[in-house]
Amino acid sequence: MLYHGTSIGGLSIIKANAKSHTSEKTVAYFTEDRCYALVCCRTRAENFVTMGLRRDGKQHYFERFPDQLKILYGGKRGYIYTVVAADGLINTKGHTWESETDVSVHQYEIVDDIYAEILEEEKIGNIVIHRYLEIDPVEQQQHANYIKEHINDQGEEMRQFYLTHFSSLWD
């Protein structure tokens, strides 16, 4: 089973309208990992995913500003769509899949509070959360300053996001 997480409800088709990370083609993204699909349930203005699969086989989420998970996902609704493996789906890396064509939705799940659901996934051991205050202060500062140096690299929406969440952390 493959998942697609989004903040958009009512989809019957997952459209191939995102830019591939491995090619310049337009694709639809999917994951084998429901936890990763949960963190994809966000708006474009909050396109800040700091999670990845580690050697232990689990997703690890790193907060890069205080209360990041709660701020990004607390009280927010998301939709987890499932699709059946179909022709044309390509495994690009680890648990990630792409399709150059639109893919029909098999079923969906409404998640009323994404943050609460992520915390449930943490309780059962499907995700490891590295909270901001647990991360080495030197590493925290390195990430904040990197954002400062690259604040204009991703357009105005992300610039505003970075100003809101990181400007108080800069040197």
Region of poorest pLDDT, from 7-11, 61-65, 125-129, 155-159: 155-159
Predicted local distance difference test score (pLDDT) of residue 124: 96
First to last CA, the chain: 45
Question: Average pLDDT, stretch 1-6?
Answer: 94
Question: Phi/psi zone of residue 155: left (φ > 0), alpha (ψ -120 to 50 degrees), beta?
Answer: left
Predicted local distance difference test score (pLDDT) of residue 86: 67
pLDDT digits (tens, 9 = 90+) for 14-60: 999 988 878 889 999 999 999 999 999 998 788 888 998 898 989 99
The pTM assigned to this predicted structure is 0.89
Predicted local distance difference test score (pLDDT) of residue 99: 92
Q: What would the two tokens of residue 143 be?
A: 């990430």
pLDDT digits (tens, 9 = 90+) for 133-150: 999 999 999 999 999 999
Predicted local distance difference test score (pLDDT) of residue 49: 86
